[in-house]
Structure 1
Amino acid sequence: MDLNTAVLLLAFGLGSVRSQRGDFTMPDWFQNKLDLILKLEERMKNVDTCCKNLEHLEIRLNATLSEMTRQKDDMDKLKEENEELKKKVGQVSPQVAFSVSLADSGELYKGPCADKTLVFKRVFSNIGNGYNPNTGMFTAPVGGAYFFTFNTFGYNSHTAGAILIKNNDIQISTYEGVSADGADSSTNSVLLTLAPGDTLHLQLWDNGQVFDNGNAHTTFTGFLLHPTTK
């Protein structure tokens, strides 16, 4: 009911009352009713405003809930991808690396000798435990592409150098023959594809000799570049 309708109804009511009781004071009664109607109309407007505000709030809450649900789904997806990545990294990227020198302490002349295998006693790093400091052998824990490098140092009285042996096959070598200079040093490197269990070691040339001390002149290093993919 709007205000105009309410006023007309009040006027009609006043006419009826006046016809029945001529001594009734109409202005006070009319004003009281009119004030009541105005208050009711104002309250109805407030109720309508509150309802609209609640509708808008519900829309915003629903939008916020949808956004939070989307973000949760994204987080769950990222978490799953991260777990999968960790599994893949753990499966296809094992860590294998070693770096050693011949002499653990003091000065060491190796050779000439019958057992020509060089056993590197000073271990700088042996990640994955592929190198055995008791035998001088590196055994590949996993298949893949490996990089190896070694340096040999010796004096001019003997052939100075070493041969890298994979299983029983010669791969690469360093070599310095007997010469007039005081000392010789040489380095070589190679990239090899190894299967799990393949072994590598360094051995002297026949009648060869190398030298090492705390300065690490004669060294052997290798590491896994990437494993073999299935």
Structure 2
Amino acid sequence: MDMKVFLLLSLIGLASCDLPFLRTCMDAEDTNTKTLPTLCSNYKNIEYIYSEIAALKNENKALRASLAEQTNKFQNVTTLDNNKVAFSASITEGADVFTGPRTDSSPSVLIFNHVFTNIGNAYSNQTGIFTTPVKGVYQFTFMTFGNNTNTSGAILMKNGLHQVSTWESQGPDYSDTTSNTVILQLNQNDTVNMILWQGGKIHTSVFSGFLLFTV
């Protein structure tokens, strides 16, 4: 092996040890041979490269920390967006349209097709079903309007189970209005919807709900 190559490899191996005599070498002068100054020059280059690598490592560490911070902020923004849930819809747009009366063969789910607000897009005006986007406590309010020829009112269902309802029987007055409010703790993907009473008939009614807070 060439002596210069051997000395250079030895110097590289010792560079990480930072031995005192190597640092002395950097200031040494040899008037008889160029080998020592050349090796010392190479050592300086290696030391410079090491310092650059250390600087790059520190820069990389800082970039990783910044990326982690930005990722966390993005996740927080996404979470805040998921926490914005509110909807309100009416069952008809016209003033002369009635729903019902419900029979065994007719659909029971009330579809509030005219949407006023649907922040979070959790309510479907195609199915009439609200699907919980995030676990939390929600408030629901509904109002039904009917006439005196049939019973009126509606039932609020959670995952197909009766929660609260309103009901008004036939009477001498021309029309009847009923309303109710409930606060429910729901899991993600729970469903909430309204159904009509058997034989019930309603007019321009409203169904609304919103997230109070997550749990």
Shorter-normalised TM range: 0.5 to 0.7
* Structure 2 Cα separation of the partners of residues 115 and 161 of structure 1: 16
Mapping for residues 210-229 of structure 1, pairs under 5 Å: 210-212=202-204, 218-228=205-215
Instruction: Work out the percentage of aligned pairs sharing the same amino acid.
Output: 42
Match of 1:162 in 2: 154
* Structure 2 Cα separation of the partners of residues 187 and 106 of structure 1: 19
Match of 2:144 in 1: 152
RMSD after superposition: 2.1
Distance apart, 1:177 and its partner CA? 0.6
* Aligned residue among 133, 137, 141 for 2:125: 133
* Structure 2 Cα separation of the partners of residues 157 and 99 of structure 1: 28
Distance apart, 1:220 and its partner CA? 0.3
Match of 1:16 in 2: none
Match of 1:199 in 2: 191
Unaligned runs of 5+ in 2: 1-68
What TM-score comes out, normalization by structure 2 length?
A: 0.62
Distance apart, 1:117 and its partner CA? 1.2
Give the residue type in structure 2 aligned to 1:111.
G
* Aligned residue among 152, 163, 182 for 1:171: 163
What TM-score comes out, normalization by structure 1 length?
A: 0.58
Match of 1:209 in 2: 201
Distance apart, 1:206 and its partner CA? 0.7
* Structure 2 Cα separation of the partners of residues 187 and 195 of structure 1: 25
* Richer in helix (by share): 1
* Structure 1 Cα separation of the partners of residues 95 and 146 of structure 2: 16
SS in 2 for 1:108: coil
Distance apart, 1:105 and its partner CA? 3.5
Match of 1:109 in 2: 98
Mapping for residues 1-230 of structure 1, pairs under 5 Å: 88=76, 90-91=78-79, 94-113=83-102, 114-212=106-204, 218-228=205-215
Q: Alpha-carbon deviations, 1:44-76, whole Å to 9, x = none?
A: xxxxxxxxxxxxxxxxxxxxxxxxxxxxxxxxx
Unaligned runs of 5+ in 1: 1-80, 213-217
Give the residue type in structure 2 aligned to 1:99.
S
Give the residue type in structure 2 aligned to 1:224.
L
Distance apart, 1:99 and its partner CA? 0.3
State which structure, 1 or 2, has the greater radius of gyration over its C-alpha atoms: 1
* Structure 2 Cα separation of the partners of residues 206 and 142 of structure 1: 32
Give the residue type in structure 1 aligned to 2:144.
T
Instruction: Count matched residues.
Output: 144
Distance apart, 1:107 and its partner CA? 2.3
Distance apart, 1:223 and its partner CA? 0.3
* Structure 1 Cα separation of the partners of residues 72 and 113 of structure 2: 40
